[in-house]
Amino acid sequence: MSDSKALPEFIEACRLADVPPGGSLKVDLAGTAVAIVRTAEGVFAIRDACSHADVLLSEGEVEGCTIECWLHGSQFDLRTGSPLTLPAVVAVPVYEVRLRGEGDATVVEVASSPTDFSPGSNAVTSQAATEEL
Ligand code: FES
């Protein structure tokens, strides 16, 4: 019996050029709303719903490796989905991201399932894609 885990499948989400630097883009990923966020530290994917109320995170402010919910101001770490400030206390799912292609043709691909941070998982942060941002 093998203890290796299957690699997540990746789904094409958008072109990198469609995501503004320091901003985000709402995409539909097989029926799930996901915010693709482009920062100086990489490209991240986080479910596009605040865990405090059903508000789009893609409409919030991006600062460093965080996105701030526009309604009550909770900030979420884009690497883990964890809330850094109140009132939110529950993490938002994040997804591994990878970039494919070059230049204007670069495509953002997102894992089809969220990163597993449960005990026993070896995930530390959701991987950020970091090519030429
Ligand atoms: S709805 Fe996002 S912090 Fe309240």
pTM exceeding 0.85: yes
Closest CA to 19 of 45, 1, 55: 45
Task: Read off φ and ψ for residue 32, nearest 5 degrees.
Answer: -110, 130
**Domains in the chain, CATH or no CATH each:** 10-111 (2.102.10.10)
Task: Determine the straight-line distance between the first and last CA of the chain, rounded to whole angstroms.
Answer: 41
Q: What is the pLDDT along the chain (133 residues), one digit of tens a residue?
A: 444 566 679 999 999 999 999 999 999 999 999 999 999 999 999 999 999 999 999 999 999 999 999 999 999 999 999 999 999 999 999 999 999 999 989 999 999 999 988 888 777 666 566 655 5
Residue of 56, 61, 74, 92 best suited for mutating to test ligand 1, as the one with most atoms within 8 Å of CB: 74
Tokens of 98: 């990878």
Are 48 and 36 contacting, i.e. CB atoms less than 8 angstroms apart?
A: no
Report d(CA 80, CA 84) in Å as an integer.
Answer: 10
Residue of 72, 75, 86, 90 best suited for mutating to test ligand 1, as the one with most atoms within 8 Å of CB: 72
